[in-house]
Structure 1
């Protein structure tokens, strides 16, 4: 990736709906050149997709939690998480715990229900999210 590609990726991360014309102007290239560069970045899977970022509160999911599991059955826990509508992310990790699950749900009662249903797969430790920060623009490491 050259500096122009890095700029394209940075701009698309901040505004994935930008037109190719406006993107071309921002990086000082022609629209066909920028379109080709974006296509190559997609083919190389530098750009994996385009997403809408939605408000969990507006989606009636104001309760977020990170649940750490000492799992007895990793595959069963993973399957449970992949199929549960409240699960946003699920990470298998090395160390004392085996899974970290991020959920967003509509009530403390539904959080409790998730915990109760998941206990058959291991021991959960629940951490309710009070506030958060998510980096929206990721810069590549310089080589």
Structure 2
């Protein structure tokens, strides 16, 4: 990826609502050139969308938990994500290495709701669960380092 595209991505991960004019000013290009580059980044799947970051507390979902799941019978089909997709309380589902098969990020109103969701997870996917309740979140959704510090996806850029 070109350095100017990295600068555009860095600016948009910091503020996805930047106007093309402000973005052009930040990266030193014309508005039309920035518009074209952003469109190309979207088409290539580098920029996958724009979303609001919401306060889950304000939405009455203050309890966050990580739920590790593994099947009762490891020979059963690996279809837990599909079996659990209908549960809106599951924010994210990660396939993981180790003893567990998946790690679920769950957001609920309180302990009783967590208990209910855990039962639904166990029943729907025929899995065992191990739950970790989050006490606080010092940071979340940090933008990736691109361009400015020489880091790309956690690696140093090669000098080319």
| TM category, shorter | over 0.9
Q: Where does structure 1 lack aligned partners over 5 or more consecutive residues?
A: none
Question: 1:51 & 1:103 partners in 2: Cα distance?
Answer: 19
Question: 2:20 & 2:61 partners in 1: Cα distance?
Answer: 35
Q: Does 1:88 align with 2:88?
A: no
Calculate the aligned-residue CA RMSD, in Å. Answer: 1.4
**Structure 1 counterpart of 2:107:** 104
**Structure 2 counterpart of 1:12:** 12
Stretches of 4+ moved more than 4 A in 1?
none
Relative to structure 2, which stretch is displaced further, 90-99 or 47-56?
90-99
TM-score normalised by structure 1 residue count: 0.92
- For the 8 Å contact 1:64–1:103, the answer to whether it is kept is yes
Question: 1:122 & 1:112 partners in 2: Cα distance?
Answer: 15
Q: Where does structure 2 lack aligned partners over 5 or more consecutive residues?
A: 147-151
Give the 3-state SS of the residue equivalent to 2:55 in structure 1.
coil
**Structure 1 counterpart of 2:47:** 47
TM-score normalised by structure 2 residue count: 0.83
* Equivalenced residues, count: 142
**Structure 1 counterpart of 2:36:** 36
Question: 2:97 & 2:58 partners in 1: Cα distance?
Answer: 34
Question: 1:113 & 1:62 partners in 2: Cα distance?
Answer: 16
Question: 1:119 & 1:34 partners in 2: Cα distance?
Answer: 48
Distance 1:47 1:127, change over 3 A: same
Question: 2:135 & 2:83 partners in 1: Cα distance?
Answer: 25
